[in-house]
Structure 1
Amino acid sequence: MHATRFLPRLFLPCPALARPLWALSLGATLLLAACASRPPEPAATPAAPAAATPAAAVSPMSPPSPEAGFARWVEGFKVSARRAGISEATLHAAFDEVQFLPQLIELDRAQPEFNRPVWDYLDRAITPQRVLNGQKKLQQVRAEADAAAARYGVPASILAGIWGMESDFGRNYGNTPVIDALATLGYEGRREAWARGELLAALKILQSGDIDRAHMIGSWAGAMGQTQFMPTVFLAHAVDADGDGRRDIWASMADVMASTAQFLARSGWQSGQPWGGEVVLPPGFDLARADGEFKQSTAQWAAEGLRGPDGAPLPELAQAAVFLPAGARGPAFLIGPNFKVILRYNNATSYALGVALLAQRLDGGPAVRAAWPRDLQPLTRSQTRTLQSALNERGFDSGTPDGLMGPATREAVRRYQRSAGLVPDGYPTLELLQRLQP
């Protein structure tokens, strides 16, 4: 998901804390802890008594440093890891040189204020250069991708679409040590139970011999390898497809493709079924039914006047829903069960659409034909929270205001739009927010 080239971990002659280098593409600053040795003390000379050191500076009650607290957390975690069957050898390999990475805490707590519209996301995810590069990369791993497709029923282009979205076809899958990342997030405490579970899974991976600590690298959040599996997902779905006795989603493309395909197959992928496709809605179409949930067969949708762009056939689906990712003014799609399976990989409709459309382009298919409403300004997170609160106050339950446009908020928007005589497309706009505000 990051377009910068993969860079190996920095090995410094003394302990250092560095933000992952791929984060530099987001404008982050590389931070390195100073590690020069202390200069020799000058010879003592008689002097007047020095001013007393403030008591707080030497008080035994001073709080421990984050590094000391982190070390204690790691020792406590080792106790539970031993109870879970982790060997001393694995604990030494994992924690003897473990580092506290405070920059990861900043990233984990960061909540971007500005939401990217779907067209901006797709513009960045599916560039002509990425499509061309992806087609070349897919040809290079064609044997491995086709073998996984035959075994699990997931098209090679879908596997390559995920590969492209997650690591830019292997160019960058992060350079943060997974053990360090998960231990840091566990110590920070905001999601400790989750981080502890993932860290224990990472130790089990080390103990199994699938990968060693030095090569177990990934994103700052602990996602690993070329298609970014979390450790628990790795344990459940990773495959040794090349028969070398290890499940290696970092360097073995056979394992990468088979592991990704097995995850999708076990998540419900329907072999031989398309994910969906772009459609053109007939005049007067009831947009209240375009909620992504109302389902009927392609034949039934066609009978109501839906058609493919430029006369293309509709995707053949037994159960299909109309999806409007940018509201009534943007492109329309007919989506089937396999689109929902892609959401199991990353529960964001922009991501799922990105994978599907990238796969379509890798197969030589067309780009989206209809125009995106690029003049619409997306709501910021704070504006979305205001919208959610206003909807709740008027009796249109959108859930707890969190600044995220989930299904509950879209349905609340749709119900308000119907009550106000507006087009019920569930898409939030500044104009809608202004109508809701007193």
Structure 2
Amino acid sequence: MQEGPMSPGRRACAIGLGAALIDATVPVAALASASRDGSFSAFVADLWPAAHARGISRATFEAAFAGVVPDPEVIAKTKKQAEFTKTVGQYLTSAVSDKRIATGTSQYKQWAPWLVRAEKTYGVDRYVIMGVWGLETNFGAFAGNDYVIRSLATLAYAHYRGTYFRSELLAALGILQAGHTDPAHMMGSWAGAMGQTQFMPSSFKSYAVDFDGDGRRDIWTSVPDAIGSTANYLHKHGWVPGDTWGYEVRLPDTRPEANGTGASFATWAARGVRRADGGEMPDSGLGTLLMPGGREGPAFLVTKNFKVIKSYNNSVSYALGVSLLGDRIAGWGPLTAPWPVAGQAPMSRKRFARD
């Protein structure tokens, strides 16, 4: 929800969908000199025919690229992605912090009518929508401060990931042409993930919705559009209406089951598995055992909807963060089992463009 004109000096940010990218092929020094030797200008000029073929006007094209030069910090970000070493427990302590829960609870009260409407329209749990919103951009508080066109153009010019970012750049120009936002507000992460939903431009085309009915799909400044777009994304990825993401469970002392084992909830109950909150197991449906902290940490039975959450970010820790944050905003208590403090493997961090 950044405001004001684009500044060429805006710093790159590492949130959103770019954290799983591979090394770039163009040195930072080459990018720094690109605008001086005219090669970047030639790249932009060569892009025009493809943009024009997609219905981009010359006025939109020139406004989008006004003052744009390659951003060396974007390429530097691709080369400085340190190994992620937080354990699942450490990650979730931050993701589901008291402060984030309090912020989410306040935001829920403010936007409850839109969340209820999204749940009715798309069948997606309103609190899971809150969990995604909270983890992606801290409920819209920080959605990135890089001009998306500049970031994408830098990566496309570098031939980073082949033609992927060139395609995303053309899609971003299409968003400007349609008037959903303008260059001054088209802000996002260093890798081009945009707005409160952190959609890549191609995902915007597929999943963003005009939920407030003003004629624009504005995932930057319209909270209703961000809420509706997140719900639509999860809906189109197979969310099962009325189903849960899963439950924390207590395993019998023998704990014979292996991580990833799937069975009906009735079978789990017959094996002595119990919900940690004391509730009843569902009469139907399937649950998969998840022990992300090992046998000494919390255990969960998760449903197909948990996999749908992972489609937003292919990380078990992320999906648990979304799920548990949503539960806490809904008024459920914290986990009953503690996370191991030592000997736990670092969490896997995989972030992919939502394309």
TM-score normalized by the length of structure 1: 0.72
Shift of 1:170: 1.1
| Larger RCO, structures 1/2 (Cα 8 Å, 6+ apart) | 2
1:207 to 177, 181, 197: 177
Q: 1:117-136 alignment to 2 at 5 Å?
A: 117-136=87-106
Tell whether the 8 Å contact from 1:18 to 1:101 is kept in structure 2 after alignment: no
Where do 5+ consecutive residues of structure 2 fail to align?
16-29, 351-355
Count residues with an aligned counterpart.
Answer: 334
Q: Quickly say closer, same or farther: Cα 1:378–1:301, change in 2 above 3 A.
A: closer
Equivalent in 231, 236, 241 of residue 206 of structure 2: 236
Q: Residue 195 of structure 2 aligns with which residue?
A: 225
- CA shift at 1:97, angstroms? 2.2
Rounded Cα–Cα distance in structure 1 between residues aligned with 2:90 and 2:270: 33
Q: Say whether the 8 Å CA contact 2:6–2:184 is kept in structure 1.
A: no
Deviations 1:334-385 (CA, angstroms, capped at 9, x unpaired): 00000000011111111100000000000000111111111125469xxxxx
Instruction: After TM superposition, list the pairs within 5 Å mapping 1:237-256 onto structure 2.
Output: 237-256=207-226
2:184 aligned counterpart, secondary structure: helix
Q: Could you say what secondary structure the match of 1:214 adopts?
A: coil
Structure 1: state its 5+ residue gaps: 1-5, 24-61, 381-403, 407-438
Look up the equivalent residue of 2:82 and give its one-letter code.
P
User: Residues 72-121 of structure 1: CA distance to partner in whole angstroms, max 9, x if unpaired?
Assistant: 22222222222333221221121122231110111123231342111111
| SS class of match (1:65) | helix
Residue type at the aligned position of 2:202? T
What residue is the counterpart of 1:320 in the other structure? 287
Q: Which residue of structure 1 lines up, in the alignment, with residue 131 of structure 2?
A: 161
Matched, 1:19 2:18: no
CA drift at 1:311: 2.8
Partner of 2:322: 355
Distance apart, 1:183 and its partner CA? 0.5
Q: Write the distance in 2 (CA, Å) between the matches of 1:9 and 1:175.
A: 11
1:369 to 2:336 alignment: yes
Shift, 1:64, TM fit: 9.7
Evaluate the alpha carbon distance shift between residue 64 and residue 284 of structure 1 in structure 2; reply closer, same or farther with a 3 A threshold: closer
Change (3 A) 1:84 1:9: same
| Conserved 8 A contact 2:168-2:201 | yes
Q: Which residue type is aligned with residue 77 of structure 1?
A: L
Let me know the Cα RMSD of the aligned residues.
Answer: 2.3
Preserved contact between residue 277 and residue 315 of structure 1 (Cα < 8 Å): no
CA contact (8 A) 2:265 2:281 kept: yes
Segment drifting more, 275-284 vs 66-75: 66-75
Structure-2 residue corresponding to 1:263: 233
Q: 1:312 to 1:188 in 2, by over 3 A?
A: same
Q: Taking structure 2 as the reference length, what is the TM-score of the superposition?
A: 0.88
Tell me, in whole angstroms, the C-alpha distance in 1 between the residues paired with 2:13 and 2:190: 10
- Alpha-carbon separation, structure 1, partners of 2:76 and 2:31: 21
Paired AA for residue 9 in structure 2? L
Contact kept in structure 1, 2:10 and 2:145, CA below 8 Å: no
- Is 1:339 equivalent to 2:295 in the alignment? no
The alpha-carbon distance between structure 1 residues 302 and 127, as it changes in their structure 2 partners (threshold 3 A), is same
Distance 2:34 2:82 in 1: 26
Q: AA paired with 1:220?
A: W
Query: Paired residue for 2:33?
Result: 65
The verdict on how the C-alpha distance between 1:316 and 1:337 changes in structure 2, with shifts beyond 3 A counting, is farther
Counting only pairs closer than 5 Å after superposition, residues 174-185 of structure 1 correspond to structure 2 as 174-185=144-155
Structure 1 match to 2:107: 137
Alignment of 1:330 onto 2:300 = no
Deviant stretches of 4+, over 3 Å: 6-12, 20-23, 314-317, 377-380
2:83 equivalent in structure 1: 113
CA distance in 2: counterparts of 1:344 and 1:368, whole angstroms = 24
Residues 313 and 18 (structure 1 numbering): CA distance in 2 closer, same or farther, change over 3 Å? same
Partner SS, residue 163 of structure 1: helix
- Cα–Cα, structure 1 residues 192 and 186, in superposed 2: closer, same or farther, change >3 Å? farther
* Cα pair distance change 1:63/1:253, threshold 3 Å: closer
Cα displacement (A) at 1:286: 2.3
Structure 1 counterpart SS, 2:107 = helix
Instruction: State whether residues 279 and 314 of structure 1, in contact with CA within 8 Å, keep that contact through their aligned partners in structure 2.
Output: no
